[in-house]
Amino acid sequence: MGLLDGKVAIVTGAGGGIGRCHALALAKEGAKVVVNDVGGDRSGSGAGKSMADTVVDEIRKMGGKAAANYDSVATMAGGKNIVKSALDAFGRLDILVNNAGILRDKTLLKMDEAMWDSVIAVHLKGTFACTHAAATAMKDQGQGGRIINTSSTSGLLGMFGQSNYGAAKAGIAGFTRVCALELVKYGITVNAVVPIAKTRMTEDLPRYANLKEGELDPAFISPVVVFLASGLGKDINGKFFLIRGPHISAMEVKTTEGVGKEGMWTPQEIAQNISKIMAW
């Protein structure tokens, strides 16, 4: 008995890296998996079928069921077609993992419109496009569902040289919180993982140079996705999980206790009280 027997899952960007690990882990627990990947390079250039096909073969070799989809997540038509692939191949949809992503890093003053638009399109619009199509199918099905998004410390904490990517990933965090509130009435939960893993997206970062073999393996991220996708995680909604190797933490936005007064503050009074306002 697997945790996900009878369930159907979509993993976007599942042709490599973290998404491939999610697809394998979901299949290992009995889910039938749509392996979506457009098959381009790290910056989003190019396309091909072999990345998705290879992961489909891996799942079939371990006795699982999988189907490939090669659409880009970045359009509404793509999102609809990815969901249609699940319905056509397996007749239902229970789990969506929004994982596809690209990177086009530059500091703000060197960032051009195309770098901004392409990163926002794949991450933020892609998460919206797939979620919209999937939540519609899950609502029609009437048996709830699970949506797991992918944010980043770049968006939640900030990362030099990633204003486009950080904005997209912070946008995904806001999107996750709102969808969690809206979709709960249909029995659909919406959470997000915040991964730290060595993949083609991160392998040339200087801080990844001296990792031991297997340290920050992307497979460490997937048990959290399986947990959230299964009955074990049914009561978790609108939450964020930071995963770095075998270490898992929760992340959330917090406010200080703050300071109140009668009437309106003057800027000078704010200056006098700023350390109390900002005290954690």
Catalytic annotation on 165? yes
Nearest approach in angstroms of CB 205 to ligand NAI is: 9
Residue from 43, 143, 200, 231 touching ligand NAI (CB under 6 A): that is: 200
Cα–Cα dist 102/86, whole Å = 24
Measuring CA to CA, how many Å separate 207 from each of 63, 158, 184, 216? Answer: 38, 16, 39, 12
Asked if residue 248 binds ligand NAI (CB under 6 A), the reply is: no
Asked if residue 44 binds ligand NAI (CB under 6 A), the reply is: yes
Asked if residue 39 binds ligand NAI (CB under 6 A), the reply is: yes
Residue 49 or 139: the one with the smaller Cβ distance to ligand NAI is 49
| Interface map 128-167 toward ligand NAI (x if CB under 6 A) | ----------------------x-x---------------
The strands making up 247-251's β-sheet, listed across from edge to edge, are: 66-69, 32-36, 8-11, 95-97, 145-150, 188-196, 240-244, 247-251
Asked if residue 40 binds ligand NAI (CB under 6 A), the reply is: yes
SS3 (DSSP) at 181: helix
Asked if residue 233 binds ligand NAI (CB under 6 A), the reply is: no
SS3 (DSSP) at 196: strand
Tokens 């042709």, residue?
15
The two beta strands, 247-251 and 240-244, are: antiparallel
Residues found near ligand NAI in the complex (CB under 6 A): 12-13, 15-19, 36-40, 42, 44, 51, 72-74, 99-102, 122, 126, 150, 152, 195-197, 199-202, 218
